[in-house]
Structures are given as structure tokens and as C-alpha cells.
Amino acid sequence: MKQIMYSKIEDVDDIEVLRGKPSFNYVLDDETIKLLKKNFFLEKSLYILAKEGNTFVAFCSIDNDWREDGYFFIREIVVDQNFQKQHVGHTIMNMCIEHAKKEGTKGIVTETDFKNIPMQKLCEKFGFKSWDNPEWKQGITYKLECN
């Protein structure tokens, strides 16, 4: 078994590796890729890609495009089904959280589907609390205060 390597995405075109990848109950489509590419250029964004050799393993992105000043948003986290339950999601999400903390964030927000139990458990492990988001009712919004 090869070692999983984690790296920062430096070239916006590398985001294309996500096209068509399944993420819980949807597939990363043109609209999602376009938004990821737009937010890639935000000054404090971080996009992490995990690969085993040339095989896609996981992706996580965080940026500071959230409606509350000083907060970061975990926009997307995807772990290939062949690598789930191997702590890859935990590792890659931790990298994004640590990045936001180094940038002096007040807190971190993420959103997930009501049925996405693995993501809910991951958020709880990191100490995120569910938050009643008045602008998004399609799932659960989680917030981690960092002050």
C-alpha cells in the first residue's frame, strides 16, 4: 500500500480533479467547481488534496467567504469511498481548521445534509456545535468558535 500524500493545491486548474466525484448524496458538478475556483483566489483560502500515488483520495477546502467577518467556511470535504474510515477526513479537515486558526479566525462554519451522519460525527469530534442558520434550512450548519 502506498502512502497517502497531502498537498496544498497551488494551481486553480487542479480543482478539475474533483469534477464528477461523489460527495455524500451528490456529484461535484459544474456549479460547485465554478464556486470552488472562484473562492480559490481568496487571500486566505486553503485547498488540500490527498492522493495515494496518482489516485484521488480526498479533498477539503476552507476560505473566509462567510457572511460573518472573521469566520472561515469549510466549503467542501470529499473522501473517496475506498478511503473512508481510515481517518483521512479527520486529517484533511484538521489541516484546514489549523490553517484558519493560524489566520486568526474567530470561528469556522460548515454545512452538511441532514442524512450525512459521517460528516456530523466528524464535526462533533472537532467540537463544532449545530447552529440555527436562518439562511440555510436544507441541512445542518455547524459552528466552531475559536476565541
Cα dihedral 82, 28, 131, 146, rounded to 10, equals 70
- Percent of the chain at pLDDT exceeding 70: 99
CATH assignment, 4-145: 3.40.630.30
What average pLDDT does range 138-142 have in this prediction? 94
Please, what is the average pLDDT of the chain?
Answer: 93
Instruction: Identify the bridge partners of residue 22 per DSSP, sorted by sequence position.
Output: 27
What average pLDDT does range 11-36 have in this prediction? 89
Phi, psi of 138 (to 5 degrees): -80, -5
**Tens digits of residue pLDDT in 66-83:** 999 999 999 999 999 899
- Percent of the chain at pLDDT exceeding 90: 84
Residue 136 has pLDDT above 70, yes or no: yes
**Tens digits of residue pLDDT in 19-29:** 988 877 778 88
List the chain domain ranges.
4-145
Is 62 in contact with 53 (CB distance < 8 Å)?
no
Query: Which residues, in sequence order, are CB contacts of 6 under 8 Å at separation 6+?
Result: 48, 49, 50, 91, 92, 95
Is 140 in contact with 110 (CB distance < 8 Å)?
no
pTM for the model stands at: 0.93
**Tens digits of residue pLDDT in 86-132:** 999 999 999 999 999 999 999 999 999 999 999 999 999 999 999 99
